[in-house]
Amino acid sequence: MTIEWRYTIQQDFCVLSLSGFLGGDAVDRFAGAVGWVLARGTGPVILDLTDLRGWSIGGQLAITQAARRLTKEGRSLELAAIPADGSLVPDGSHPAIPVHCDLATARAAYQDAGGHTREWYSDDWPGVRNPAPQGQM
């Protein structure tokens, strides 16, 4: 099982949404999505886990590696709606990762005015899509 992703650029932040299961077989796909984020946006990144069915320890480590990767580029990572089966296992070697109870709370932290957005998503993204998508992977 793998993941699907959608990346949306807001005015002051970006949202990378995941669906599926973030396990060992999905780590490379997740790293690729983070590369997409780094190439196409600026500012803080909210990792929306609302539609994630779960994660393995390897998936959690991939998230901490993403936080390090984003920090090296002057960006931060925040989590929204972590899976109910656990929390991120901190190992002390990654930047602090704020956790929000849901995506609405995370967006509220940036006073999202709902301005211009751009969106990209993997081919099988199951969620709602922008009526006129700006790009597709």
Q: What is the pLDDT, as a whole number, of residue 134?
A: 44
Using a 10 angstrom Cβ sphere, with 0-12 exposed, 13-18 middle and 19 or more buried, the burial of residue 99 is middle
The residues, ordered by sequence, that sit 6+ positions from 85 with a Cβ below 8 Å of its Cβ are 54, 55
> Given this model, what pLDDT does residue 116 score?
58
Q: pTM of this prediction?
A: 0.82
Q: Would you state the pLDDT for residue 115? A: 58
How many other CB atoms are there within 10 angstroms of residue 131's CB atom?
5
What does the pLDDT read at residue 86? Answer: 58
Angle between helices 27-40 and 57-72 in degrees, nearest 10: 20
Cα distance between residue 35 and residue 99, in whole Å? 22
Q: Domain coordinates of the chain in residue numbers?
A: 3-121
List the chain pLDDT tens, one digit each, 137 residues.
Answer: 689 999 998 888 999 999 999 999 999 999 999 999 999 989 999 999 999 999 998 999 999 999 999 999 999 999 999 887 556 655 677 788 898 999 999 998 887 555 556 676 787 877 665 544 444 44
**To which CATH superfamily is domain 3-121 assigned?**
STAS domain (3.30.750.24)
